[in-house]
Structure 1
């Protein structure tokens, strides 16, 4: 999902830009820089993920003026790299979108929240819930965190997007429902399937790639 920042007063997109920058600084503080510097394989996987993310985000469908939809794949990023690197992936992907002319600099913060921060928060919350539960099978991780996490991420991002449009007085609720929410089920299920497939494949063939997947817990 993406929003055109030009539709909003400067106070709106600058507020999101500042908030997004602060969250990025927080991620910087918790990022394991020593691991990232020496792990060449991790660097390559992160770089490839960035390229894929920009390609996926660039393939968007405009559903109304200033409003578009696209797949996130942030649930997979979060589970594979952790929330810190996932935040950086979102930020760098947004810069890439600006570079190819798909976004404006002003829109990095607002779209970073809609397409990145909210999915990361949703995935992290479900991961914490599943981790504390007694469901310790790989299937629980795949379906409750990857699959369901992706669906919840799409819905939650849609709610935030709706709140932003209503709060700024850009569109009324009827317009948003008729032009946007009718498409949410069409993107939520494929989003969940894509993330589920990616995480399943990595758990089967490369479980060590999925940072938040505890092999000792799920395979014992």
Structure 2
């Protein structure tokens, strides 16, 4: 394990430990609707993370789905569930254990934090309506989160000398624009369907804010 990997692991473990200490896990599982949302969202996320595109010319590529997870479960529970999925991918061999911290920061802490920040800002600073929630809180953060995650990983791979900068730019960074719209569409569609058919599962959505006040 390199120095960068060790530092990333320490940061990730400390961050998740703090978030876990502030999360109401028992309360979340006590409500049947929330319990179902956690189980189903975590299972879907794990499915997407296990099936990834392995390339011989650069890092693996896969959709994140963390924006939909964050909007559905909230910042704390989403971080914990995503961490659980990351550990399972390490056990399955899809991700190296030495990369746990780096992957945790790039694909969990940054995307979840970015998504919840955009949601919080839009909730408090922009007039609330259904379209704002779907497009500004789901579609936009999903694209931003994936871009930020992939750029973070690209920077790490170059800094740690795993790939040279030319290989990363040609085989990884250049793919980012192609991934943004599918990621945004995937998350936006998932949240739209949940809000329409299972709004009680979505932690960040409330009828009284997005419909009743209109």
Give the TM-score, by structure 2 length: 0.91
Instruction: Choose between structure 1 and 2: higher strand proportion.
Output: 1
Tell me which moved more, 206-215 or 68-77: 206-215
Alpha-carbon distance in 2 for matches of 1:37, 1:89:
12
Residue by residue, what CA displacement relative to the aligned partner does 1:24-56 show, whole Å, maximum 9, x if unpaired? 111112212341242233223212222221211
Deviations 1:157-203, CA, capped at 9 Å, x for gaps: 12211221222233333221101022112221111001001111111
Aligned to 1:94: 86
Q: Aligned-pair RMSD on alpha carbons?
A: 1.7
Q: 1: distance between equivalents of 2:188 and 2:40?
A: 19
After superposition, give the CA deviation of every residue in 1:132-162 in whole Å (9 maximum; x if it has no partner).
2233111101101100000000111122112
- Report 1:1-220 matches (<5 A): 9-65=1-57, 67-219=59-211, 220=213
Bigger CA drift: 66-75 or 34-43? 34-43
Moved over 4 A (4+): none
Q: Distance in 2 between matches of 1:150 and 1:184?
A: 13
- SS of 2:95's equivalent? coil
Contact 1:64/1:179 (<8 A) preserved: no
Partner of 2:54, secondary structure, is strand
Q: Which moved more, 1:42-51 or 1:181-190?
A: 42-51
Deviation at 1:64, TM superposition (A): 4.2
What SS does the aligned partner of 1:169 have? coil
Between the aligned partners of 1:63 and 1:186, the Cα distance in structure 2 is 16
Deviations 1:98-143 (A, max 9, x none): 2222122222211111211111121012112211223311110110
Q: Distance in 2 between matches of 1:44 and 1:106?
A: 32
